[in-house]
Amino acid sequence: MNIRENVIDLVRNRTTSLPTLPVVVNNIIVTARSEKTSAQDLADFIMNDQAISTRVLRIANSAYYGMPKKIDSISRAIVLIGFKEIISLALGMGIFSALSKKGVDTPIDMTELWKHSIGVGFAAEKIATKRRKIPDESTILIGLLHDIGKIIFCLYFPNEYAEVLKKTSNEPTPLFKIEKEYLGLDHAEMAHLLMKQWNFPTSLIQPVRYHHNPSECPAEQVDMAMLVNLANSICHESGIGQSGNNYMEIDNKILKKLGLSDEDVGTLTEELKSERDQVEDFLAALS
Protein backbone atom coordinates (compact mmCIF):
# COMPACT_ATOMS: atom_id res chain seq x y z
CA MET A 1 0.00 0.00 0.00
CA ASN A 2 2.00 3.02 -1.22
CA ILE A 3 -0.12 6.11 -1.72
CA ARG A 4 2.71 8.65 -1.91
CA GLU A 5 1.97 9.61 -5.52
CA ASN A 6 -1.73 9.91 -4.78
CA VAL A 7 -0.93 12.24 -1.88
CA ILE A 8 1.37 14.40 -4.00
CA ASP A 9 -1.29 14.64 -6.71
CA LEU A 10 -3.85 15.57 -4.07
CA VAL A 11 -1.71 18.44 -2.80
CA ARG A 12 -0.58 19.80 -6.16
CA ASN A 13 -3.80 19.40 -8.14
CA ARG A 14 -5.81 22.57 -7.59
CA THR A 15 -9.00 20.89 -8.82
CA THR A 16 -9.11 18.61 -5.76
CA SER A 17 -11.13 19.33 -2.66
CA LEU A 18 -8.03 19.81 -0.50
CA PRO A 19 -8.69 22.56 2.04
CA THR A 20 -7.75 26.10 1.03
CA LEU A 21 -7.01 28.85 3.49
CA PRO A 22 -9.38 31.81 3.89
CA VAL A 23 -8.35 34.94 1.97
CA VAL A 24 -7.68 36.74 5.24
CA VAL A 25 -5.14 34.07 6.23
CA ASN A 26 -3.27 34.47 2.95
CA ASN A 27 -3.21 38.21 3.63
CA ILE A 28 -1.83 37.57 7.11
CA ILE A 29 0.95 35.39 5.67
CA VAL A 30 1.90 38.26 3.35
CA THR A 31 1.67 40.63 6.32
CA ALA A 32 4.07 38.50 8.33
CA ARG A 33 6.67 38.76 5.57
CA SER A 34 6.45 42.55 5.17
CA GLU A 35 8.26 44.97 7.45
CA LYS A 36 6.04 47.78 6.18
CA THR A 37 2.82 46.39 7.63
CA SER A 38 1.50 48.34 10.62
CA ALA A 39 -0.44 47.04 13.60
CA GLN A 40 -3.53 48.73 12.19
CA ASP A 41 -3.04 46.97 8.83
CA LEU A 42 -2.96 43.65 10.67
CA ALA A 43 -6.05 44.54 12.71
CA ASP A 44 -7.90 45.48 9.52
CA PHE A 45 -6.98 42.17 7.85
CA ILE A 46 -8.19 40.13 10.82
CA MET A 47 -11.39 42.13 11.28
CA ASN A 48 -12.29 41.38 7.64
CA ASP A 49 -13.07 37.82 8.79
CA GLN A 50 -15.57 37.90 11.63
CA ALA A 51 -15.09 34.24 12.55
CA ILE A 52 -11.30 34.51 12.89
CA SER A 53 -11.61 37.88 14.64
CA THR A 54 -14.02 36.41 17.21
CA ARG A 55 -11.78 33.40 17.84
CA VAL A 56 -8.67 35.55 18.28
CA LEU A 57 -10.48 37.62 20.91
CA ARG A 58 -11.69 34.45 22.66
CA ILE A 59 -8.14 33.17 22.96
CA ALA A 60 -6.80 36.60 23.96
CA ASN A 61 -9.30 36.52 26.83
CA SER A 62 -8.68 32.87 27.72
CA ALA A 63 -6.91 31.56 30.82
CA TYR A 64 -3.82 30.98 28.67
CA TYR A 65 -3.01 34.72 28.64
CA GLY A 66 -4.67 35.57 31.98
CA MET A 67 -5.25 39.23 31.19
CA PRO A 68 -6.65 41.19 34.18
CA LYS A 69 -9.09 43.12 31.98
CA LYS A 70 -11.17 41.99 29.03
CA ILE A 71 -9.64 42.59 25.61
CA ASP A 72 -12.46 43.94 23.46
CA SER A 73 -10.75 44.72 20.13
CA ILE A 74 -8.14 43.26 17.81
CA SER A 75 -6.16 46.50 18.00
CA ARG A 76 -5.98 46.22 21.80
CA ALA A 77 -5.06 42.53 21.53
CA ILE A 78 -2.13 43.47 19.29
CA VAL A 79 -0.94 46.08 21.81
CA LEU A 80 -1.24 43.80 24.85
CA ILE A 81 -0.26 40.43 23.40
CA GLY A 82 2.04 41.46 20.58
CA PHE A 83 2.07 41.86 16.80
CA LYS A 84 3.73 38.55 15.94
CA GLU A 85 1.78 36.62 18.56
CA ILE A 86 -1.52 37.81 17.07
CA ILE A 87 -0.29 36.85 13.58
CA SER A 88 0.36 33.33 14.87
CA LEU A 89 -3.03 33.12 16.59
CA ALA A 90 -4.86 34.32 13.47
CA LEU A 91 -3.01 31.81 11.31
CA GLY A 92 -3.91 29.08 13.79
CA MET A 93 -7.57 30.09 13.61
CA GLY A 94 -7.61 29.87 9.81
CA ILE A 95 -5.86 26.51 9.73
CA PHE A 96 -8.15 25.04 12.37
CA SER A 97 -11.16 26.28 10.41
CA ALA A 98 -9.88 24.90 7.11
CA LEU A 99 -9.13 21.46 8.55
CA SER A 100 -12.13 21.00 10.84
CA LYS A 101 -14.78 18.74 9.33
CA LYS A 102 -17.79 18.27 11.59
CA GLY A 103 -19.79 15.07 11.49
CA VAL A 104 -17.06 13.09 9.69
CA ASP A 105 -15.89 9.76 11.12
CA THR A 106 -12.09 9.61 11.22
CA PRO A 107 -9.55 6.98 12.36
CA ILE A 108 -8.29 9.41 15.04
CA ASP A 109 -10.65 11.48 17.16
CA MET A 110 -10.05 15.00 15.80
CA THR A 111 -10.89 16.71 19.08
CA GLU A 112 -8.28 14.63 20.88
CA LEU A 113 -5.72 15.25 18.13
CA TRP A 114 -6.21 19.02 18.38
CA LYS A 115 -5.86 18.80 22.18
CA HIS A 116 -2.59 16.96 21.70
CA SER A 117 -1.36 19.57 19.23
CA ILE A 118 -2.20 22.45 21.57
CA GLY A 119 -0.52 20.56 24.41
CA VAL A 120 2.65 20.23 22.32
CA GLY A 121 2.64 23.99 21.75
CA PHE A 122 2.23 24.61 25.49
CA ALA A 123 5.01 22.14 26.28
CA ALA A 124 7.38 23.70 23.73
CA GLU A 125 6.89 27.10 25.37
CA LYS A 126 7.62 25.55 28.77
CA ILE A 127 10.82 23.98 27.45
CA ALA A 128 12.00 27.31 26.04
CA THR A 129 11.31 29.03 29.38
CA LYS A 130 13.10 26.24 31.27
CA ARG A 131 16.14 26.93 29.08
CA ARG A 132 15.86 30.60 30.09
CA LYS A 133 14.96 31.60 26.56
CA ILE A 134 12.03 33.75 25.46
CA PRO A 135 9.59 31.47 23.57
CA ASP A 136 9.24 32.33 19.90
CA GLU A 137 5.89 33.92 19.05
CA SER A 138 5.14 31.07 16.66
CA THR A 139 5.78 28.27 19.19
CA ILE A 140 2.10 27.58 19.87
CA LEU A 141 1.36 27.74 16.13
CA ILE A 142 4.08 25.19 15.32
CA GLY A 143 2.62 22.90 17.98
CA LEU A 144 -0.80 23.31 16.41
CA LEU A 145 0.64 22.49 12.97
CA HIS A 146 2.99 19.62 13.75
CA ASP A 147 0.39 16.84 13.21
CA ILE A 148 -1.77 18.36 10.43
CA GLY A 149 -0.43 15.68 8.09
CA LYS A 150 -2.38 13.13 10.16
CA ILE A 151 -5.54 15.16 9.62
CA ILE A 152 -5.10 14.98 5.85
CA PHE A 153 -4.50 11.22 6.06
CA CYS A 154 -7.63 10.83 8.21
CA LEU A 155 -9.85 12.93 5.94
CA TYR A 156 -8.64 11.80 2.51
CA PHE A 157 -7.26 8.30 3.07
CA PRO A 158 -9.29 7.08 6.08
CA ASN A 159 -9.29 3.38 5.24
CA GLU A 160 -5.59 3.22 4.49
CA TYR A 161 -4.74 5.24 7.58
CA ALA A 162 -6.94 3.09 9.78
CA GLU A 163 -4.81 0.11 8.70
CA VAL A 164 -1.65 2.03 9.59
CA LEU A 165 -3.04 2.79 13.04
CA LYS A 166 -3.84 -0.89 13.56
CA LYS A 167 -0.21 -1.71 12.79
CA THR A 168 1.11 0.78 15.34
CA SER A 169 -1.16 -0.65 18.03
CA ASN A 170 0.52 -4.03 17.57
CA GLU A 171 4.14 -2.98 17.04
CA PRO A 172 6.61 -1.18 19.35
CA THR A 173 7.47 1.22 16.52
CA PRO A 174 6.83 4.97 16.25
CA LEU A 175 3.83 5.84 14.08
CA PHE A 176 5.80 7.97 11.63
CA LYS A 177 8.00 5.00 10.71
CA ILE A 178 4.97 2.78 10.04
CA GLU A 179 3.40 5.57 7.96
CA LYS A 180 6.55 5.76 5.87
CA GLU A 181 6.61 2.00 5.35
CA TYR A 182 2.95 1.57 4.39
CA LEU A 183 2.05 4.93 2.84
CA GLY A 184 5.34 5.98 1.31
CA LEU A 185 5.55 9.16 3.41
CA ASP A 186 4.93 10.14 7.02
CA HIS A 187 2.64 12.82 8.46
CA ALA A 188 5.52 15.31 8.84
CA GLU A 189 6.27 15.12 5.10
CA MET A 190 2.53 15.36 4.38
CA ALA A 191 2.38 18.55 6.46
CA HIS A 192 5.45 19.88 4.64
CA LEU A 193 3.79 19.41 1.24
CA LEU A 194 0.60 21.10 2.40
CA MET A 195 2.34 24.04 4.06
CA LYS A 196 4.45 24.65 0.96
CA GLN A 197 1.25 24.67 -1.09
CA TRP A 198 -0.13 27.27 1.34
CA ASN A 199 3.04 29.40 0.92
CA PHE A 200 3.94 29.25 4.60
CA PRO A 201 7.34 30.65 5.68
CA THR A 202 10.28 28.29 6.08
CA SER A 203 10.48 29.15 9.78
CA LEU A 204 7.16 27.32 10.26
CA ILE A 205 7.60 24.57 7.66
CA GLN A 206 10.98 23.18 8.68
CA PRO A 207 10.35 22.50 12.41
CA VAL A 208 7.14 20.67 11.44
CA ARG A 209 8.84 18.73 8.65
CA TYR A 210 11.71 17.56 10.88
CA HIS A 211 10.08 17.25 14.31
CA HIS A 212 10.71 13.48 14.27
CA ASN A 213 14.25 13.76 12.94
CA PRO A 214 15.72 17.13 14.03
CA SER A 215 19.24 16.08 13.10
CA GLU A 216 18.22 16.45 9.45
CA CYS A 217 16.72 19.90 9.92
CA PRO A 218 18.51 22.96 8.47
CA ALA A 219 20.57 24.74 11.11
CA GLU A 220 18.36 27.85 11.25
CA GLN A 221 15.34 25.88 12.52
CA VAL A 222 16.98 22.89 14.25
CA ASP A 223 16.47 24.31 17.74
CA MET A 224 12.71 24.63 17.21
CA ALA A 225 12.56 21.14 15.65
CA MET A 226 14.21 19.72 18.80
CA LEU A 227 11.81 21.70 21.01
CA VAL A 228 8.81 20.24 19.20
CA ASN A 229 10.30 16.74 19.32
CA LEU A 230 10.73 16.87 23.10
CA ALA A 231 7.41 18.70 23.60
CA ASN A 232 5.69 15.91 21.68
CA SER A 233 7.10 13.31 24.07
CA ILE A 234 6.21 15.38 27.14
CA CYS A 235 2.64 15.84 25.90
CA HIS A 236 2.31 12.07 25.45
CA GLU A 237 3.65 11.57 28.98
CA SER A 238 1.09 14.06 30.31
CA GLY A 239 -1.82 12.19 28.74
CA ILE A 240 -3.28 15.32 27.15
CA GLY A 241 -5.11 14.48 23.93
CA GLN A 242 -4.40 11.55 21.62
CA SER A 243 -2.23 11.54 18.52
CA GLY A 244 -2.72 7.95 17.34
CA ASN A 245 0.84 7.12 18.33
CA ASN A 246 1.11 4.32 20.89
CA TYR A 247 4.89 4.30 21.03
CA MET A 248 6.89 7.33 22.12
CA GLU A 249 10.24 7.67 23.81
CA ILE A 250 12.45 10.62 24.69
CA ASP A 251 15.59 11.02 22.61
CA ASN A 252 18.39 11.48 25.15
CA LYS A 253 20.64 13.10 22.53
CA ILE A 254 18.05 15.82 21.96
CA LEU A 255 17.57 16.21 25.70
CA LYS A 256 21.30 16.73 26.13
CA LYS A 257 21.52 19.22 23.25
CA LEU A 258 18.72 21.24 24.81
CA GLY A 259 20.60 21.24 28.12
CA LEU A 260 17.85 19.48 30.05
CA SER A 261 17.72 16.46 32.35
CA ASP A 262 15.32 13.59 33.03
CA GLU A 263 14.31 15.47 36.18
CA ASP A 264 13.44 18.52 34.05
CA VAL A 265 11.24 16.35 31.84
CA GLY A 266 9.40 15.05 34.90
CA THR A 267 8.82 18.58 36.16
CA LEU A 268 7.62 19.83 32.77
CA THR A 269 5.29 16.85 32.41
CA GLU A 270 3.66 17.56 35.77
CA GLU A 271 3.33 21.26 34.91
CA LEU A 272 1.61 20.41 31.63
CA LYS A 273 -0.76 18.00 33.38
CA SER A 274 -1.83 20.86 35.64
CA GLU A 275 -2.75 22.95 32.58
CA ARG A 276 -5.23 20.48 31.11
CA ASP A 277 -8.07 22.97 31.70
CA GLN A 278 -6.15 25.68 29.84
CA VAL A 279 -5.70 23.34 26.87
CA GLU A 280 -9.45 22.65 26.90
CA ASP A 281 -10.14 26.38 27.12
CA PHE A 282 -7.80 27.10 24.20
CA LEU A 283 -9.50 24.45 22.06
CA ALA A 284 -12.96 25.79 22.94
CA ALA A 285 -11.85 29.25 21.80
CA LEU A 286 -10.57 27.79 18.51
CA SER A 287 -13.84 25.97 17.82
C-alpha distances (whole Å) from 187 to each of 15, 151, 173 are 22, 9, 15
- Greatest distance between any 2 Cα atoms in the chain: 54
Are the C-beta atoms of 224 and 136 separated by less than 8 Å?
yes
Q: Is the pLDDT of residue 1 over 60?
A: no
The CATH code of domain 4-286 reads: 1.10.3210.10
**Domain extents for the chain?**
4-286
The conformation of residue 168, written as its DSSP 8-state character, comes to H
pLDDT tens digits, residue range 211-245? Answer: 999 999 999 999 999 999 999 999 999 999 999 99
| Residues in Cβ contact with 126 at an 8 Å cutoff, skipping those fewer than 6 apart | 231, 234, 268, 271, 272
* Residue of 249, 228, 269 lying closest to 172 (CA atoms): 249
Sign of CA dihedral 269, 88, 185, 256: negative
The average pLDDT across 41-55 equals 88
CA distance 230 to 245: 15
Torsion of CA 170, 239, 159, 4, to 10 degrees: -90
Are the C-beta atoms of 279 and 144 separated by less than 8 Å?
no
Q: What is the pLDDT of residue 36?
A: 83
CA distance 104 to 102: 6
The average pLDDT across 252-274 equals 96
| Residues in Cβ contact with 36 at an 8 Å cutoff, skipping those fewer than 6 apart | none
Identity of the highest mean pLDDT range in 125-134, 190-199, 223-232, 276-285: 223-232
3-state secondary structure of 180: helix
Q: What is the pLDDT of residue 134?
A: 81
